[in-house]
A and B are shown apart, each in its own frame.
Chain A
């Protein structure tokens, strides 16, 4: 029996505004300041009066201001929907769905979704960069940290190795993702790294946690991004071209892990969350991967892109490397992936700077990076064993 869904919600809501700060290594500002700048940007972009914003949703790893702080900072007269989720890359884009549900149910009219962090100058993701003995005892870190296994690059390198063992993927295959992201960033004035790199540069970059080299790992960034989500009926009132929210999904498979430390309970690190959520995502959207023009594929690591291209159905299991090698993710390929340069080259505002790019592409406002006739977009969030997906379209 097909459950009653969610496809009924298709197109009932829009992204009515977007906002973002400059991306840097040292903002010299509070995360509240960054969040407020991005949120004011999104509200101004939409043309909705600040006083009509009545919902606020965010996520973080204790490194982002909570929703109530932004509601306070903006002076919202009334809060009708709010949530501060614990999460890194996993939930991120599905929080647009959380906001979409709230506006479609009439809980709220205009919901802000944001992420702010001083991810380089302040609290670095995963607690790296300090002598982190204090993290021992956090979740199941007692079984990982004493073994010298304690960061996201180290955890995901273990999964990347599985992909190499199971499918014959090579580090050059990882490198091709990094090279493509940097080539995309060259056309993006917001990107933190724009100088082109070659496969040789990738192979010569410093080893971090074999099989990952420096250029397999995303950036660390200070910055913020925000989105305003409204009901589709507001499409005619908003100041910027609205983007239609078609579908979202989040989840994963069995034994995703007791914490964010290592994911070693998960059966097969070569095949991650995306194949579990993709069927429902596409069914809800009434579309498939072949319909996608532009995508933000969460690229915390090069390997993560290969794994998700397979899981979301752009190619078969184990064929991600070949799909990239054949040029399919280039700006003029089958699907333009991370045309902003991704988190590998533009910035790391988990999943959200990529979502900004997808919205701009669907609006036709991506400047030099604009992909002709970009009508359907995908954005993803990656938490290794769990994650999320969001399908958007240019409003007709």
Chain B
């Protein structure tokens, strides 16, 4: 029988990387959160795209992001959409601002609906899918998780 903590860490569905996003997911397997940085105008961007939408350069590098962010908005999911998420409700999903140009949708791990607020500081955690893939998410900075 899974414990609450196991459920919190476990993701029922695996992402399917595409040619634009493969480096993002490869870095995640090494427990690194990365985004593209434009070689020409230095703008960060997320989600992955081959073209910089600021200066239209095709040149970029993948860079490590700071492992912290702040909550921009959030919801508390109480109605599970599919059977896979039935055991997970209620859970908090937030949009987390990590850097200019990088806002990442994320489960908030270890954060209860009563704890969450605009501007709350959260830190990167890595969750594991049914297929064993690591997925970056954010969680309470007080909670040290692998």
Contacts and interface: CB of A to CB of B under 8 A. Distances in A.
Contacts of A125: none
Given A136-B16, A142-B17, A142-B21, A151 B81 contact: yes
A144 B143 CA distance: 23
Interface in A262-291: 262, 264-265, 269
Contacts of A150: 81
A365 interface: no
A158 B75 contact: yes
Given A165-B118, A255-B53, A144 B105 contact: yes
Interface residues of B, number: 40
Contacts of A210: 75-78, 90, 113
Interface in B5-49: 11-18, 21, 47, 49
A158 B91 CA distance: 14
B30 to A, nearest CB: 18
A103 interface: no
A208 B78 contact: yes
Interface string B62-91: 000000000011111111011111001011
Contacts of B11: 146
Interface string A209-226: 111100000000000000
Interface in A159-177: 159, 161-162, 165
Nearest to B137: A147
Among B15, B91, B104, residue most surrounded by chain A Cβ atoms (within 10 Å): B15
Interface string A121-153: 000000011111100110010111111111100
Interface string A192-219: 0000000000000011111110000000
Given A142-B18, A158-B75, A262 B49 contact: no
Given A165-B118, A258-B47, A264-B95, A154 B18 contact: no
Contacts of B13: 133, 136, 145-146
Interface residues on A, range: 35 or more
A378 interface: no
Contacts of A40: none
B90 to A, nearest CB: 8
Contacts of A158: 73-75, 93, 95
A365 B60 CA distance: 60
Contacts of B85: 148
B16 A137 contact: yes
A143 B75 contact: no
Contacts of B88: 148
Contacts of A154: 75, 77, 81, 93
A157 interface: yes
A66 B14 CA distance: 32
A133 B104 CA distance: 21
28 contacts: A128-B81, A128-B82, A130-B82, A131-B82, A132-B81, A132-B82, A133-B12, A133-B84, A136-B14, A136-B16, A137-B15, A142-B16, A147-B105, A148-B88, A154-B93, A157-B75, A158-B73, A158-B74, A158-B93, A162-B73, A165-B118, A207-B78, A210-B77, A255-B53, A258-B49, A264-B103, A264-B105, A265-B103
Interface of A: 128-133, 136-137, 140, 142-151, 154, 157-159, 161-162, 165, 206-212, 255, 258, 262, 264-265, 269
- 5 closest residue pairs by CB, A with B: A137-B16, A210-B76, A142-B15, A208-B79, A157-B75
Given A146-B14, A207-B79, A264-B103, 12 more contacts: A133-B13, A133-B82, A136-B16, A146-B15, A148-B77, A148-B85, A148-B91, A148-B107, A209-B75, A209-B76, A262-B105, A264-B105
